[in-house]
Structure 1
Amino acid sequence: MTLTPSHIIEYLFCPRFTYFEYVLCIPQHEDANYKVMRGRTLHDERLDRNKDYLRKRLGRPGAPVTDKHLDQYLTNELMRGVVDEVLEFGDGSMAPLDYKFAEFKDRVYSTYETQLYCYAWLIETNFNRPVDRGFLVYTRSNNRVVELPITDANKGDVKRAAEAIFSIIDRNFFPKATKAKSRCVTCTYRNVCIK
């Protein structure tokens, strides 16, 4: 078994999410969520439309975008994921680019950041190239592109979260709930969780 960025995001939301879904095998039902389904459809449409488009303006001076890999399935010993676009730059670095069926409202959600950190770790593992930034395309804001820095600490945090998830699953360990109790209101497991 390997994890996806969604597993990491759920764990960071609340470690008990991992326990309910992967130890007790109580499924969550996200397929009914319109935004999730619409986002998946849009993702496929964007990839078809942008196959030949190279985002040259995302490069740095002396390090233009030189190539890209579309819909790239990547895996390592702990994680797997499909990156919408993996960009290559003239300085040898790479970066993930991810489409979001969302509007940009002057802030980037932590879930989007975490997903990019996961992709950065996967890219470094598979291509053996440095990743120090990532890009989000907000399709409901005229395809606005937002660049985010990615540090070694960000990638390390993702790896530690993956290791913690496997510890919960392997040991059948019931972890402490999140300290952010406001998250419990919208949690799909709120009816089975001990408060």
Structure 2
Amino acid sequence: MQSFYPSQIIEYLYCPRYTYFEYVLRIPQYEEKFYKVTRGREVHNEKLERNKDYLRKKIGVVDKWIDQYLGMDGLRGKVDEVLKLEDGNFAPLDYKFAVWKDKIYDTYKQQLYCYAVLIEENFKVKVANGYLVYTRSKNKLVTVSIPSKAKKEIRTSMEEMLEIIEQNKFPKATKFKKRCVNCTYRNICIK
């Protein structure tokens, strides 16, 4: 079975045509050119090597798995940290090379939702919350609720993406036309 990364699910949720252009027509995005993506990966690597015990104590961590690669049918990815908390719950923690602006972007939430699905499948536990660390705001820690509905949307997206790929299906574009302005496929997409 085809297996997707959280970034691919996020792209699909942004506009289903990403899946078609990148995985049916095999037209790459060349996202490496974007500074923030590249720098974000560097910061990820730096942060994973540093000891963040003070953040973990703040949220009651009793056990942790750092830089944890998890997989299941339809989804795979590397979670910065899988946390086991004092209350027995598990949670993903993700470092962001970003400034906290009193708003959690949908893409950040969706990534945590993907990680929650992976943790639930691999650890056989329920995940109700996730954590974001904003590295450009003095490692600000933000709690994100992970509702069951969001985890279901991730699983449904995986199925719909597979259908696009297996059936060479050209999906409808996003209904949010402002998203098309910065899309890497805007020059070849039929609106």
TM-score by length of 2: 0.97
Q: Secondary structure at the match of 1:111?
A: helix
Offset, 1:183: 0.5
Aligned mates of 2:125, 2:135 — CA distance in 1: 28
Which residue in 2 is equivalent to 1:123? 119
Residue of structure 2 aligned with 1:109, choices 105, 108, 113:
105
CA RMSD between the two structures? 1.1
Which residue in 1 is equivalent to 2:29? 28
Gaps of 5+ in 1: 60-64
Offset, 1:130: 1.2
Residue of structure 2 aligned with 1:145, choices 137, 141, 147:
141
Aligned mates of 2:104, 2:53 — CA distance in 1: 27
Which residue in 1 is equivalent to 2:56? 55
Gaps of 5+ in 2: none
Q: Secondary structure at the match of 1:3?
A: coil
CA deviations 1:119-160 (Å, max 9, x no partner) are 000000000011100000000011000001111111101000
Q: Is the 8 A contact 1:92 1:130 kept in 2?
A: no
Q: Is the 8 A contact 1:54 1:68 kept in 2?
A: no
Q: Secondary structure at the match of 2:4?
A: coil
Aligned mates of 1:178, 1:184 — CA distance in 2: 8
Structure 1 residue runs of 4+, over 3 Å off? 51-54
Between 45-54 and 141-150, report the one with greater CA deviation: 45-54
Amino acid at match of 1:105: K
CA deviations 1:48-89 (Å, max 9, x no partner) are 112766611113xxxxx1011000000011100100011101
Which residue in 1 is equivalent to 2:67? 71
Q: Secondary structure at the match of 1:83?
A: strand
Q: Secondary structure at the match of 1:8?
A: helix
Q: Secondary structure at the match of 1:27?
A: coil
Which residue in 1 is equivalent to 2:47? 46
TM-score by length of 1: 0.95
Which residue in 1 is equivalent to 2:16? 15
